[in-house]
Structure 1
Amino acid sequence: MDGSVQPDGIDLNYLNMPVEETFFRMLRHREFDAAEMSLSSYVVSLFSEERPFIAIPVFPSRFFRHSSIYVNADAGIRKPGDLVGKRIGTPEYQMTAPVWIRGILSDEYKVPVESVLYMTGGEEEPNRPEKLKLNLPDTIKVERIGPDKTLARMLLDGEIDALHTARAPSTFYDGSGRVVRLFEDYPAVELEYYKRTGIFPIMHCVVIRREVYEQNRWVAQSLFKAFKEAQKKTYQDMHETAAHKTMLPWLSAHVEEARRELGEDFWSYGFNENRETISTFLRYHYEQGLSKQLLTPEDLFAPEALESFVI
């Protein structure tokens, strides 16, 4: 973003904008040559006739999502199994965060995808659409909320029982105590999950418009190298103790804990390092009716970026 890393052979015009805007403009209008992209939306796009994008194994956003399940305090939901039969809001059914949440709830807590009613729409503003057209199995129940409704308010008022989301709802922070997390001690739950599964969920990847890639296949490796170099600089910034680069009072302690628990390369890019995590996500995507067939991780990425070379 600051220009200190330049991809080989590419004059980069970097636009910094919220991910929701980036995704919408790329998916609907293909405005950019390359862009950060929802992993789920990218996988859905692979089943379109045009297959407009191809990805490189760079993952700008990762997030343990146990912390992203919010419930109405009066809904009688005290443990994950209590979600069965409930009304669960989600801004979009195909969003990456809810895909992970539904998969984890099914695998870990016996909450089948088909066991709840999903209600989709805007979280803070009304009328959020699905970015991509979906054709889901009849066993999966999804309904749109009213045109003047928001999921954050519906959760507060008890019109939905729970919410699967990427952004914490405003009503969680309003001081009323009527919206709470399902997993209050979520760091401990998420760390135990990682230690047992080795999965640090991937939210976003980086995609290239397919026509750009087909005309200049070298851009995949060039961008991958640049992102790896930028990541290296970011790791170095996190280790800086003379003056913190991020406004966290115990940043050094957080970084040391991440290295201790997840390893030195705790936010790994690359294919081999993330193959099992991607495979799990693709299984969830298929089980939840979003993929027409079960893809392999190799199906997602430009072959030029699948292997790293050594100098």
Structure 2
Amino acid sequence: MRIVLGDYPHTRAVKELPGHEFIEFKPLPPAFARMVRTLEFDVCEIALATYLQARDYGVPVTLLPVVMIGGTHHRSLTRLPDAPALAPGDLPGRRVGVRSYSQTTGLWVRGLLREEYGVNAADVTWVTTEEPHVAQYTEPPYVERSAAEKVGDLLKAGDVAAAVLGPRAAGGQGAGLVPLIEDAEAAGRAWVERHGTIPVNHVVVVRNAVLDEEPKAVDALYAALKEATAGAEPPVAAGWSEPLAKALEIGGRYAAEQELVRTPVDVAEIERGAARWSD
């Protein structure tokens, strides 16, 4: 199989499996678009929002119940350190930068903004630097595309009041930025306690045709991922679980509220598709 997985401690041993072609992407997100647009790979790690949108538009892939990365995102909503103080509740009517409106970090940030601060997605103009991975998706009218290359550039140019930057950008273009949410770590822990799950960012999908034609190969890959993720820090894990179901339910609800998907996300249907890998 042709397989795309990110570079993590829990994937290094998996990539030593014989008989497969493991394709490396740095950065990883361009692989997501190629997977959902052309089915270029047999198995591919993709962002949760990309999976939900691909499913919504009938892209023939099945979720492997494997969480590759995740975490809370209260610290992902940022501003320049020398900018005027800005609270999350002040965002209606303002412009906020985000790599793509369908970026999963943005999905989780907009969800917490609505839940905790009463700020709806449509209350803000979302300024993006990249298009969605799923080509069929049309962004809502409160989304704009910028010619800037990076979200951090939007902040520095004064084009946005705040920016959504994922954890991997924190040490790069996000270095030195200040979270809008005070005591973001404590707020993230409170979110997890309230919801009984941790936000999921990346999952794994398999082409339906490959699953039909080579089920044993897919099962063997899943088994290797399950062994490799055993003992990893949550939410990284393999296997259907209540926390995964809750993360899919909440993420799916957020996606519908934010006009990322057209129809409600049926978690029970996703679980039925992944039943062969249930413990």
User: Which residue of structure 2 aligns with residue 60 of structure 1?
Assistant: 68
Q: Structure 1 segments of 4 or more deviating over 6 A?
A: 4-7
Q: Looking at CA atoms only, which structure, 1 or 2, has the larger radius of gyration?
A: 1
Could you list the per-position Cα deviations for residues 23-74 of structure 1 after superposition, in whole angstroms to 9, with x for gaps in the alignment?
233233322110111111111111324x231111101011211111112346
Amino acid across the alignment from 1:29: T
Describe the shift of the 1:156–1:226 C-alpha distance in structure 2 as closer, same or farther (beyond 3 A): same
What pairs up with 1:1-311 in 2 under 5 angstroms?
1-3=11-13, 11-18=19-26, 19-49=28-58, 51-73=59-81, 76-121=84-129, 128-133=130-135, 134-138=137-141, 141-145=142-146, 147-148=147-148, 150-166=150-166, 167-168=169-170, 170-173=172-175, 179-232=177-230, 235=232, 267-273=236-242, 274-300=244-270, 302-305=273-276, 307-308=278-279
Q: Measure, in 2, the Cα distance between the counterparts of 1:108 and 1:75.
A: 23
**Alignment partner, residue 250 of structure 1:** none
Identity fraction in percent: 26
How far apart, in 2, do the equivalents of 1:60 and 1:277 lie?
Answer: 13
Residue 155 of structure 1: how far off its partner (Å): 0.4
* Equivalent AA in structure 2 for residue 159 of structure 1: D
Q: Distance in 2 between matches of 1:56 and 1:171?
A: 32
TM-score (norm 1): 0.75
Structure 1's 5 and 304: CA in aligned 2 closer, same or farther, altered over 3 A?
farther
Alignment gaps of 5+ in structure 1: 122-127, 236-257, 259-264
Whole-Å separation in 2 of the counterparts to 1:155 and 1:47: 33
Paired with 2:193 and 2:148, the residues of 1 have a C-alpha distance of: 43
Equivalent residue, structure 2, for 1:261? none
Match of 1:208, SS?
Answer: strand
Q: RMSD in angstroms over aligned alpha carbons? A: 2.6
Count matched residues: 263
Tell me, yes or no, if the aligned pair for 1:72 and 1:180 is still in contact at 8 Å.
yes
Q: CA deviation at 1:89?
A: 0.8
Q: CA deviation at 1:170?
A: 4.1
Per the alignment, do residues 303 and 218 of structure 1 end up closer, same or farther by CA in structure 2, a change over 3 Å counting?
A: farther
Structure 1 position 226, deviation (Å): 1.6
Name the one with the larger strand percent: 2
TM-superposed CA distance for 1:270, in Å, is 2.2
Long gaps (5+) in structure 2: 1-10
Contact 1:23-1:38 within 8 A present in 2 as well: yes
